[in-house]
Structure 1
């Protein structure tokens, strides 16, 4: 029996589905843009397996300001991170930006 080939340029109305809306960022709560980073709230080096969607700028901010052991203590709850004054200030600032906004992150002074 011969196989039927479907041409890529032919659209079948029955198989068209609406695209799901992008997920919200785990840290700032804004809708994610074209680039989504799947972040491990509990670092993989500390046994973390679950991932959450984030903006690249939000992930870089977390990684810059916290060590893996600190992130492990916060666990899967973003509220512990949001209680930090630096992160709270960042989230308030980035809330007014476009979902695809990107900027360099300053390093934490140690």
Structure 2
């Protein structure tokens, strides 16, 4: 029997990203700000959505173009603390538009 490879880890929250969970590629520098073809990271879809609900493309390009920088943002740090306590397959049950900044 062949053992399945371990699922990748989300670099933002550190939880595994199971194959059956929504995942998303995040351009560290937004495409609209010169990041087309640049480095990307695989994230949980919920983590990716939180990044874009928190920061504009300009803010991402100017000061948050690394995972380490993203983790230092106060709102994202609070989100990471919260989501890290959830199972890897956790999905938000609250649909709707982005929250205010």
TM-score band by shorter chain is: 0.7 to 0.9
Larger radius of gyration: 1
From 53, 62, 73, the counterpart of 2:42: 53
Q: CA deviation at 1:37?
A: 1.1
Unaligned 5+ runs, structure 2: none
Relative to 1, partners in 2 of residues 1:17 and 1:38: Cα closer, same or farther, differing over 3 Å? farther
Q: CA deviation at 1:17?
A: 5.1
Provide the C-alpha distance between the structure 1 equivalents of 2:17 and 2:79, rounded to a whole number of angstroms.
16
1:22 maps to 7
SS of the residue 1:89 aligns to? helix
SS of the residue 1:38 aligns to? strand
Q: Which deviates further from its counterpart, 97-106 or 87-96?
A: 97-106
Structure with greater proportional helix content: 2
2:68 maps to 79
User: So what's the TM-score if we normalise by structure 2?
Assistant: 0.79
Structure with greater proportional strand content: 2
Provide the C-alpha distance between the structure 1 equivalents of 2:78 and 2:2, rounded to a whole number of angstroms.
39
